[in-house]
Chains A and B, each alone.
Chain A
Amino acid sequence: AQKITQTQPGMFVQEKEAVTLDCTYDTSDQSYGLFWYKQPSSGEMIFLIYQGSYDEQNATEGRYSLNFQKARKSANLVISASQLGDSAMYFCAGRGYQKVTFGIGTKLQVIP
Chain B
Amino acid sequence: GAGVSQSPSNKVTEKGKDVELRCDPISGHTALYWYRQSLGQGLEFLIYFQGNSAPDKSGLPSDRFSAERTGGSVSTLTIQRTQQEDSAVYLCASSPGSSLMNTEAFFGQGTRLTVV
Contact surface of A with B, Cβ cutoff 8 Å: 31-33, 35, 37, 43-45, 47, 50, 52, 89, 91, 93, 95-105, 107
Contact surface of B with A, Cβ cutoff 8 Å: 31, 33, 35, 40-43, 45, 48, 50, 56, 89, 91, 93, 95, 98, 101-107, 109-110
Please tell me if the beta carbons of B104 and A35 are within 8 angstroms of each other in the complex: yes
Across the interface, name the chain B residue whose C-beta is closest to A107: B40
A102-B35 CB under 8 A given contacts A43-B109, A44-B109, A45-B91: yes
Q: Which residues of chain B have C-beta atoms less than 8 A from A107's C-beta?
A: 40
Give the distance to chain B from A91, nearest Cβ to Cβ, in Å.
Answer: 7
Of listed A33, A45, A52, residue having the most chain B CB within 10 A: A45
A104-B42 CB under 8 A given contacts A43-B110, A45-B93, A99-B48: yes
Q: Which residues of chain B have C-beta atoms less than 8 A from A93's C-beta?
A: 104-105
Give the complex CA separation of A89 and B91 in angstroms: 15
Q: Which residues of chain B have C-beta atoms less than 8 A from A102's C-beta?
A: 35, 42-43, 45
Give the complex CA separation of A43 and B112 in angstroms: 10
